[in-house]
Amino acid sequence: MSLSVIGAGFGRTGTLSLKLALEQLGFAPCHHMMEVFANPGQAPVWLSAAKGEEVDWSELLADYKASVDWPSCHFWRDLATHYPEAKVILSTRDPRRWYKSISETIFPAMAGEMPGEGGAADVISMARHIVSEKTFGGRTDEAHVLDVLARHEAEVKRTVPAGRLLVFNVAEGWGPLCRFLEVPVPDMPFPRTNSSEEFRARLK
């Protein structure tokens, strides 16, 4: 098994809904940060990659057909090179609504008390390094974070050939996604999940 779809969009751009949608379309399983919490042994490998160490992507992602969200979106360029046949999806949403969402969910989670030893601690440590430090430089102020988002999205659009890239808002539903992946539209609603309230509830 190898990746057929690479998600380049940051977390809180509908990535969990996109994960579920991709899995319903046959691209299952799809990697997401929730997969790391379920398999904390992955965390040290992702952390090593973030520190510039060589990682065997084929081994790390051997069980997945797609990837979205952090940590994998941080490595979108590496993954796009390693899997040249994979298509790339840049999930997006209104920038200010996205900032409000990440400020109410991921940023507080990263700033919270660190769990003790064990798998959860490894995952949080990895997430802090990749999301808080590597992506946003330890800052959470709106102007900086929105600038990081804009530069990231522009780089993806500039780098990935148009025929290989879908810029996608989950509010668009099945149509654009299914056309891009060349699969039939399912006879079921597009998944909608992981609101800010649902995210916070999982942390309790």
Q: What's the pLDDT tens digit per position in 100-140?
A: 999 999 999 888 766 656 678 899 999 999 999 999 999 99
pLDDT band for 159, please (50, 70, 90 cuts). Answer: very high
Residues contacting residue 27 through CB under 8 Å, at least 6 positions apart: 4, 5, 65, 66, 181
pLDDT over 60 at 81, yes or no: yes
**SS3 category, 135:** helix
* Residue 115: per-residue pLDDT: 61
**List of domains in the chain:** 5-203 (3.40.50.300)
* Residue 114: per-residue pLDDT: 60
The rounded Cα 119 to chain-centroid distance in angstroms is 20
Q: How far apart are CA 95 and CA 13, in angstroms?
A: 9
* Residue 196: per-residue pLDDT: 46
Q: How far apart are CA 55 and CA 190, in angstroms?
A: 34
Q: Which helix (H) or strand (E) holds 165?
A: strand 165-168
The residue among 137, 60, 149, 51 whose CA lies nearest residue 100 is: 149
pLDDT band for 197, please (50, 70, 90 cuts). Answer: low
Span between the terminal Cα atoms of the chain, in Å: 35
DSSP state of 171: G
Sign of CA dihedral 124, 171, 135, 67: positive
pTM, two decimal places: 0.93
pLDDT over 70 at 204, yes or no: no
- Sequence letter at residue 137: G
Tokens of 150: 């804009």
- Sequence letter at residue 39: N
**SS3 category, 124:** helix
